[in-house]
Every structure is written in C-alpha cells, then in structure tokens.
Amino acid sequence: MALTPYQQLEQEFRRLHAFRSAASLLRWDSAVMMPRGSSEQRGEQLAVLETESHSLLTSPRVSRLLDRAEANLQALEDWQQANLKEMRRERDHAIATPQNLVSRLAKATSRAEIKWIEARQKSDFSLFAPHLEEVANLVRNKAELLGKALKLDPYDALLDEFSPGLTTAEIDGIFTTLGRRLPGLIQEAIEVQAKSPPLEINGKFAVSKQRHLATDLMKSMGFPFDRGRLDESEHPFTGGIPGDIRITTRFSPTDPLTGLMGVLHETGHAMYDVGLPEAWRGQPVGRDRGMTVQESQSLLLEMLICRNRPFLRYLKPLMEKAFGVTGPEWEVENLYRLLTRVRRSLIRVDADEVTYPVHILLRYELEQEILKGELKIRDLPEAWNTRIGDRLGVRPANDAEGCLQDVHWAVGSFGYFPSYAIGAVIAGQLYESLRYERPQLDEEIAAGQFTGLFDWLRQNVHSLAASVSTPDLIRNATGKPLSAAAWLRYIEGKYLEP
C-alpha cells in the first residue's frame, strides 16, 4: 500500500532527526572528549551534517509533500496536524537561510568555541574577538534573511528559533516589570539575610565522591542511566537526544554544592527530554517546546525544588554519608542559607535566583546592540564591565569573570539568553499551580519521592512536547496567561522572610 504524503514526510523528518542527533553527539564530544587539535575536522563534520539537514528541509520534494499533506489536513489526527504545522515552520526557517551560510556558520562556530575555551582559560578576550566577530557577522546575515522571510524583526526571528512565538515585545514587558522590582528586592533580601549569615563549608571534597552523590540523586529522580550519562565539561550543558541523553557539569574540590546544583539543573533539562512522547520521537512535534520551556524545567528543579528546605532534609544525611561530615554547617537551615544567599556576584551560572535575571537583562541588551552594529566586538569587554557594575555594583577583574564566561555567542546562540529569565518566570507560575494541586509535595520531596512531581510535569508540560504554543501550554497548566506575578510572589515570600 502506497504511503500517504504525510507518511512520506514522517520518513523524511526521521532522516532529519538522525542528522541532528549525530550533530548533537558530536558537539557533546567536542566539549567533553575531543582532542583540542581536532576542532577543524569536527567543524567540517558538523558543517556536512548541517548542510545535509538544510538540503533535506529545502528540497522540492519536501515542499510538494507539505502542500499535498496540508490539502488533506482533516484526515490527520490532532497531533499529526500539529506535527505538520511544525514541519512547515522548520521548512520555512531553513528555506530562508542559504545553504552556504549554514555551512559557513557551522565551521565558524566550531572554531570559535575552541578559541573561547582557550581565551577563557587565559582570560584574554583578544584571542576570541576575531572569531566572535566572524560569528556575529554571519548570525546578523542569518537574522536579516530570516526576518525578511518570516516577516519578523531580525532579532525576533532569532528568538523564534529558540522560543517559538516569543517576541521582544513580550520579553520587554516582563523584563520591564523585573527591572523595576529587582534593585529594591535585591537590597531588601541582602539586608534580611545579613541578620542570620550562614556558616561556611570548608575542606576538600573528592570529585569522585561528589560524582557518586550526584549520580545517586539523578537515579532517585528517575534519570535513565541505561540511556544517558554524566560527564564533566568547561560549561555545564545537556546534549544528546531523548534516547541518549548526555549531562555535563563542573565539580569544585572545595565547594560540593556548586557542582551538585549544576547536576540538578541539567537533570531538569534531561527529565523533560525523558518525558517527551516516545510515539512522537523523530518528528518535529515530538521535540521540546523551545528553550524557554526547557529552562523552566531546569530552573524549577534546581531553584524552586532543590534549593528549598524539604529537599535539603532529604539531602543532608546523603551528604554526611558521602563526605563523612557532621556539624552545624551541615544542618538543613545552614545549607538552606548557603544555597539561597543573595550576593552581587559576577558569574551567571553561580548567581542566586534573585540576582540571576540581572545577568540576563545585561546579555539581552548587549547582544541586540552587537547584532544591530551599535556595539563593536572590540568594545564588548568594557561595555560588559561598566554595565554589570552599574546594575550589581561589582566589576570584573578580568575577561574570564566578564564577557568570556558564557559559550553561547561563540556557538552562534544569539537570542538564547532571554529564555533563562523567561524560563524562571514560567517556573514560578508552574510551581504555584503545582503546589496548589499537590499540597503534599513538600512531604514527598523530603522523603526523596519525586514521582508526584514528575507525574505532574509530564501531564502538564512534557507530554505536550511541541504540540501547543508556549502561551497555550502555560495557560492550560496554570489557568492564567504568562506574567511575572507568580515568580515575584515566590521570590518575595522566600527571600524576604524574617
């Protein structure tokens, strides 16, 4: 029996999924295991995969099949109709970007990532600057072409790749609300916490023991180690594919909390991937709903669940056993104070959740100016240092503490940063509804029982994958449109308590 146009499209997109899966694993290998001298060869490999993916999406065959499938839309199930819509969206994005630009960008970002690592290690922005300039120029060209084809502002076109449907107008509204409240909130929280400062944790903590503890926690949350792994890299991330998930983190021998919280953050990403519908795997509708929702899952687990007293009641005996420690600094209340300490710090990935959005607002502002040509790459370090100083009252001592701390621009991910702060806002809204619908949540978490948490998330977020828009997902899960109100209620309740 001959395949329908829609069924033929499914076959084509399974091929596309295979190309992208291979590219994802190659990028993981680049960050974790690849010899640094192999970057040129890896860039060529990734460029080939990107080119093949682009060729498939822009082929006349796919265009014909899309037209024929859409002409018989009513014959498809609801999820298939959503899949067809996502297929068209991906095809429109690809056809707006010339293949040679795709190839050039893949090679340029591969080189830039390696130079970023070197420059960060040496704290020397000049080593990275020409590579960032090349990437920024290519991304600027891509944004202009995408914007013209999709009838979007160039920056909105980049946003749409990471967070479909999100625009600068929506971001600006939320960021304005946050920008007005955060300066006063940060100062109030610091003043409240100054009355009960935490005891510091001192000592050396073997990375092997930290890793073992992290692995046990991941298992307790349901991470499938038969289809995933935990490794270390310069910048923590989650890669791979739902059936082969790769988590990385950084462990510090003097700070066992930082690496652990990094693992829990990435586990939030991974559990979202695990919860995506297996029946939709390999199809656009089976992917996550973009990086904004992805970040909501990682921040909800790390910040709202794990940096809270119920989880710490579960964690305390595990840490004492893992590290052979005891004493007042390991008590739940002290661990809570350490993990919720508000400080005007320089490093985004180590920032507390009150100051964290300030880091994102800075990057959001800078990357738009770079793409518009209003900020020259050579002037980025000084612009960064001055503006973070204005916002948080601290100034980087070197480039590694400043504009070299993130890999995102090196790999061409302009438009990604807003997803972190909007993801936090979504997490706050989801958490409010989760606690209302599951009043026993704290007792479950304190007992190390995470099934109820992830069942709720699978029902309301994970199982929907990309079948609905982000605004619809949030409204369906919480009964309200997306806003910063729930996140601000959560932050004020947590950080301004006596």
DSSP string, 37-105: GGHHHHHHHHHHHHHHHHHHHT-HHHHHHHHHHHHTGGGS-HHHHHHHHHHHHHHHHHHTS-HHHHHHH
Rounded Cα distance, 348 and 373, in Å: 25
Phi, psi of 492, rounded to the nearest 5 degrees: -65, -40
Rounded Cα distance, 130 and 126, in Å: 8
Q: Could you tell me the CA-to-CA distances from 337 to 182, 190, 352 in Å, in that order?
A: 20, 12, 11
**Rounded to the nearest 5 degrees, what angle is found at the Cα of 236, between the Cα atoms of 231 and 241?**
70
Phi-psi region of 124 (alpha: psi -120 to 50; beta: other; left: phi over 0): beta
369 is catalytic: no
Q: What is the 3-state secondary structure (H, E, C) of 24-44?
A: HHHHHHHHHCCCHHHHHHHHH
Lookup: tokens for 446: 């304190």
Lookup: tokens for 38: 């192999």
Q: Which of 10, 90, 161, 266 is catalytic?
A: 266
Nearest-10 crossing angle of helices 125-150, 356-372? 70
In 10 A of CB 477, how many CB atoms? 20
Q: Which residues are catalytic?
A: 266
